[in-house]
Chains A and B, each alone.
Chain A
Amino acid sequence: MKRVRARLRKTPIGLAIVVGFFVLGVIGPWVAPYDPLAIDLLHEYEPPSWTHLLGTGDNGIDILSALLHGARLAAIVGIVVVGVSVVLGTLLGTWAGYAGRFADHVITGIADLVQAFPAIVLNIAVLALVARPGLMHLIVALAVNGWVLYARLARAETLTLREREFVEAARALGVPTHEVLRRHVIPNLLGPLVIQATTGLGVVILAESTLSFLGLGPGKAVSWGALLDQGTSVLLRFPHVALFSGGAIALTVLGFNLTGDWLRDRLDPRLR
């Protein structure tokens, strides 16, 4: 027990935030005291109290409950978008780095083009094409530019791995290309990819919040960004709505940034 406590004390605060975020993402909707969409017009925009710990917002919804449901949305969007981006980026990046020549030119060229758009502008342009943007569309829009970061990383690492002796040895032994990639190249990419993906989760969660804030998100009350948008419109009279919803976003993003830095220090021996 003592040892557990000593360990806990050494746990970086960023990791604690990230773990807390995911736990709330899983159990949040079950422990939420109210239905986040329940309308209670008599108690609109009430400041924090014992019945509503973080106060109420638009239509009298309970802000704590809305934030707990919003954590699940943010977690789902984050995990799915980063998951799709990492898989797609790794496949394209290793292919570009390993095959070189034509494949490399095409993949790097597309990556350059995607990066020539500011991320959010590209996301909005994709969402503009559907009548009623839903969760799926949001995920697709975020993955359209999400993969580029991982593809660049995988390509750069593959370029150096390709010249390493153990890869050359495998090739000389006649191991087929897809086996070389699967058994020798990709496993060595995992460390840098995990570090990048941790920071990337924060980026995606912020992007989801920003799009919801702009009114392009999938749900109304269950997204942190949408709640912040409502809070901003009543900022001058009822600032608590914007303070709590924005605080949740900022804290989560900070947690993922700190955890990414911490992982980099621990996993990347070059920095020690």
Chain B
Amino acid sequence: MVRMMSPGLLRYLAGRLLRALLTVVGLVTIVFLLVRLIPGDPVEAILGDQAGPEEKAELRRALNLDRPVAEQYLSFLGDMADGSMGTSFRRPDRSVWSMMRDVLPYTIVLALAALLVAWSLAIPLGSIAAAKAGKGWDKIASTVAVAGLAIPNIWLGPLLILAFGVKLGWLPLPGDDLAGPEALILPAITIGTALAAVLTRQTRAAMIEVLAQQYIIAARARGVPTVPLLLRHALRNALLPVMTIGAAQLGALLSGTVVTEKIFERQGLGTLFLDAFFARDIPVVQGCVLIIAVIYVVVNLAVDLAYGLVDPRVRLS
């Protein structure tokens, strides 16, 4: 495998990996500094105003907040490096990582389902809009996209519950037993809609560009019918930029899971994060922020690398 790679590709991969590593170290540092630099005492935030000085001093000792900042930073880095990511304030018997590991699969499945919803809406809509650019279909697809962008997921979720859970009774309500795949449908649509709106615009733009190219005109001249032309010739080349944008929208996807898990009363990383927030369980808050940021960096890296492997032009620029 390595022998097949040119020196240029290797240099590209190495550079990209180094940047990802630096970003993660930077993120770890920022997460650490946030807690120490921003005005407000975590001890007071945890115990409230009523706590006595001894109680506060004891907690401060337990959290290592009485040590010099450099020492705190080293032990924080140690916690990150050994994979435990520290210990929860609320549950001293649990490491932060073990708490996140329990709920992470729910969030990942939800995010993937949302991405699937977004792609299966955006790619057909965007392709039709591009193929019929300027005509009625294009206008309909664009209007749907604008509407999808405008409806906030904090409102779309309740609307979907009202329509499909309450009025029609087709799908389970929040708080019902959420084991089956049908419980995933409404949350995935809630997150996927806004994403689909962005991706529809991107697909349309990418398809219009591809459809103007010589090989498409040549295929059309050879008499390739419209549908195979779109599917086999155009879409393949238009999809790469769309996939990349999909990865760039990962932040929105992850933010969406936080909100949606609350609306639909699902367990997951977002719920853990919010619970930790309200309990001022700062190690868990830190851990969640960090894992979300690391997911973001890793996925972007993976997409960039895949892109570099597939499309030689990327490595050259």
In this complex, the member of A112, A116, A124, A231 whose beta carbon has the largest number of chain B beta carbons within 10 angstroms is A116
Quick check: B158 and A235 within 8 Å, CB to CB? yes
Query: Is A158 in contact with chain B by the CB < 8 A criterion?
Result: no
Nearest CB of B to A78, in Å: 14
Whether A119 lies near B251 (C-beta < 8 A) is yes
Given contacts A125-B285, A129-B40, A257-B146, is CB(A249)–CB(B152) below 8 Å?
yes
Given A128-B282, A242-B158: A250 and B289 within 8 A (CB)?
Answer: no
Taking the nearest CB of chain A, how far is it from the CB of B236, in angstroms?
29
Q: What residues of A have a CB within 8 angstroms of the CB of B70 in the complex?
A: none
B154 interface neighbour in A122, A124, A246, Cβ under 8 Å: A246
* Residue pair B289, A131 in contact (C-beta under 8 Å): no
* B49 proximal to A (CB < 8 A): yes
Known: A250-B151, A257-B146. A214 touches B289 (CB 8 A): no
B263 within 8 A of partner (CB)? yes
Count residues of chain B with CB under 8 A from any CB of chain A: 53
CB-based contact B149/A130 at 8 Å:
no
In the complex the two chains form, what is the Cα distance from A239 to B167 in whole Å?
11
Q: How many A-B residue pairs have CB under 8 A?
A: 132
B77: interface (CB < 8 Å) = no
For residue A125, which residue of chain B has the nearest CB?
Answer: B289
Q: Which of A205-222 contact B (CB under 8 A)?
A: 206, 209-210, 213-216
- Select from chain B the residue with minimum beta-carbon distance to A140: B38
- Among B108-155, those with CB < 8 Å from A are 146, 149-152, 154-155
User: B233 interface residue, CB < 8 Å from A?
Assistant: no
Residues in B37-52 with C-beta less than 8 Å from chain A: 38-42, 44-45, 48-49
Assess the B259–A210 pair: CB atoms within 8 A: yes
Of B23-31, B178-186, B237-245, the segment with at least 4 beta carbons within 8 Å of chain A is B23-31
Q: Considering the chains assembled together, what is the distance between the CA atoms of A216 and B35 in angstroms?
A: 18
**Contacting residues, chain A, for B278 (C-beta < 8 A):** 215
A228 contacts B154, CB within 8 Å? Answer: yes
Q: Which of A166-213 contact B (CB under 8 A)?
A: 206, 209-210, 213
Q: Which residues of B contact A253 (CB under 8 A)?
A: 150, 152
Inside 8 A of A258's CB, which chain B residues have their CB? 146
Q: How far is the CA of A124 from the CA of B257 in the complex (A)?
A: 14
Task: Report which of A117, A118, A121, A228 forms a contact with B155, defined as CB distance below 8 A.
Answer: A228
A123 to chain B, nearest CB (A): 9
Complex interface: chain A residues within 8 A of B251 (CB): 115, 117-119
Contact B273 A121 (CB under 8 A): yes
Taking CB atoms and an 8 Å cut-off, the chain A residues in 115-157 that contact chain B are 115-122, 124-131
Q: Is there an interface contact between A236 and B258, defined as CB atoms closer than 8 Å?
A: no
Q: In the complex, A109 Cα to B29 Cα: how many Å?
A: 13
- State which of B40, B159, B252, B289 has its C-beta within 8 Å of the C-beta of A122: B289
Top 4 nearest A-B pairs (CB, nearest first) are A246-B155, A254-B150, A118-B251, A130-B40
Beyond known contacts A236-B173, A246-B158: 18 more, CB 8 A cutoff: A118-B252, A121-B288, A121-B289, A125-B285, A125-B286, A125-B289, A128-B285, A130-B39, A131-B40, A206-B152, A210-B152, A214-B262, A214-B274, A232-B157, A235-B158, A246-B155, A249-B155, A257-B149
Please name 28 pairs of A and B residues whose Cβ atoms are closer than 8 Å in the assembled complex, sorted by A: A113-B27, A116-B23, A116-B27, A117-B27, A117-B289, A117-B296, A118-B258, A120-B255, A120-B259, A122-B289, A125-B31, A126-B38, A128-B45, A129-B38, A130-B39, A131-B40, A210-B154, A214-B259, A215-B274, A225-B154, A231-B158, A235-B161, A235-B162, A239-B162, A242-B155, A246-B154, A249-B154, A250-B151
